[in-house]
Structure 1
């Protein structure tokens, strides 16, 4: 990829409308596997955001984000609801996104994902895991 683009930007470039439903937004102690990815100590407080993304009013993606924000930066659920794009909100807060490491693999929909996406349990999905770096 030659440039970073968000889900919202990608959909808008394709001429598709995007809406987001925030399913969960809170802080939590970093689980060990997430702490490893974020390069923080296990149990360090991080932000957890779970969103259901829609295009043309159809659910098409579940987006789970774990954020290790700089001490000087906070974000609130209502700010994210207003802005719509997490990447745009972070840039507004002075946290520029420099690079991302992404892994894409095929998985089968579990009961929770199938219900949210309105698909059959066991339907094929793409799982995209990414780590965003800000500096």
Structure 2
């Protein structure tokens, strides 16, 4: 590998941003435009510090931040590598768009359908509304940097949005604008195999593994405002959770 300074350029010691933030941003940009490829190993922290003319503390802070974002991974005894898969943390309630942007990737959507309708029995139970109550449904393919990542099928109660066209890119942004963004969610995950239309839409082989996530989102008062069923490609997405002992 070339010197890291050849890949990301030099840092500006006179710049307004702290050096670790400059390094974090420069590495994120290099990963986003493939100057640093997936699974590529970074030099050890000592060598990075020498090549960039900064302290190891600066390097460590920048790398720690990118590891927490899921853009880098550390392997015991092997070093630090560019992550090959997107990691989704269960400890934060964020939208797909927010997840991708935080990792320096560009989120996009292809609409399968968005429409007003009446709640079916499953939606009625999940959202705590009467059968036949007005709802909006948003079905789409979610992309990151042009690559299909997930299928998403969302339903929200009618009073949460003015129309089905209130959602453009981010459902949570639209709900936030109309004071209905979830602050708490219950999620259920299980492994699935993609077949038929779902495999075709995600561009994977018949029988490819995937992850099914069902989410119910609630506003602060406890009212359900989101019922989403998502199918994530198993070869491109990891879900992680931070666990602590009680009282830690």
How many corresponding residue pairs?
A: 131
Task: State the 1:76 CA deviation.
Answer: 3.5
- Partner deviation per Cα, 1:10-68 (whole Å, 9 max, x = no partner): 11111111111111011222111221111111222211110110011011111100111
Q: Where does structure 1 lack aligned partners over 5 or more consecutive residues?
A: none
Which residue of structure 1 lines up, in the alignment, with residue 64 of structure 2?
none
Which residue of structure 2 lines up, in the alignment, with residue 16 of structure 1?
105
Which residue of structure 1 lines up, in the alignment, with residue 148 of structure 2?
59
Task: State the 1:2 CA deviation.
Answer: 4.5
- Residue 180 (structure 2) aligned to one of 79, 89, 95: 95
- Residue 47 (structure 1) aligned to one of 105, 126, 136: 136
- Residue 75 (structure 1) aligned to one of 141, 156, 163: 163
CA distance in 2, matches of 1:2, 1:122: 30
Task: State the 1:80 CA deviation.
Answer: 2.1
- Please state whether the residue corresponding to 1:115 is helix, strand or coil: helix
- Partner deviation per Cα, 1:101-126 (whole Å, 9 max, x = no partner): 11111111121111110111211110
Q: Where does structure 2 lack aligned partners over 5 or more consecutive residues?
A: 1-89, 222-248
- Please state whether the residue corresponding to 1:8 is helix, strand or coil: helix
- Segment drifting more, 2-11 vs 124-133: 2-11
Which residue of structure 2 lines up, in the alignment, with residue 37 of structure 1?
126
- CA radius of gyration, larger in: 2
- Please state whether the residue corresponding to 2:197 is helix, strand or coil: helix
- Please state whether the residue corresponding to 1:41 is helix, strand or coil: coil
Report which of the two has the higher share of strand.
1
- Residue 4 (structure 1) aligned to one of 80, 83, 93: 93
CA contact (8 A) 2:173 2:181 kept: no
CA distance in 2, matches of 1:112, 1:127: 15
CA distance in 2, matches of 1:69, 1:45: 5
